Amino acid sequence: MEPRPTARFPAAARLLRPSEYAACLKNRRVSRGALFVLHSAPAATSDAPACSRARLGLIVAKRLAPLSVSRNALKRVAREAFRQIQGQLPPADYVVRLGNRIPETSLTELKRQARAELDRHFRRAAQC
């Protein structure tokens, strides 16, 4: 039996330190939507050594998504959207931040809305 290819989100593709998040947040905002704001910064501006891949950080505030189920679902959707397009993104650090309170809707519909919006944000970042 042939081994399955792994679809992982390794530590090398994540922002890990607060200083990396801060460097990205003080740089330019790539796009803003109904739910999320995408920030971007060249990887060399962070404290980490310049890497040749896109890296992702997530900020999902409890005051904007009070239920942990919703917060975790939004983070999973964002990681998956990023994982699928990261090969097309320029090497940089990206922070996806929940910018507005989530609407009162089912979890399935929330995930569908989040994925559609994140795909638009990452396509725009790939074009820059």
Q: What is the pLDDT of residues 75-121, one digit of tens each?
A: 999 999 999 998 899 999 999 999 999 999 999 999 999 999 999 99
Q: Which domains does the chain have, with CATH numbers?
A: 13-67+92-127 (3.30.230.10)
Phi, psi of 77 (to 5 degrees): -65, -45
Q: Which amino acid, residue 19?
A: S
pTM of the model: 0.86
Q: Label residue 29 by pLDDT band (50, 70, 90).
A: confident
The encoded tokens of residue 88 equal 């097309």
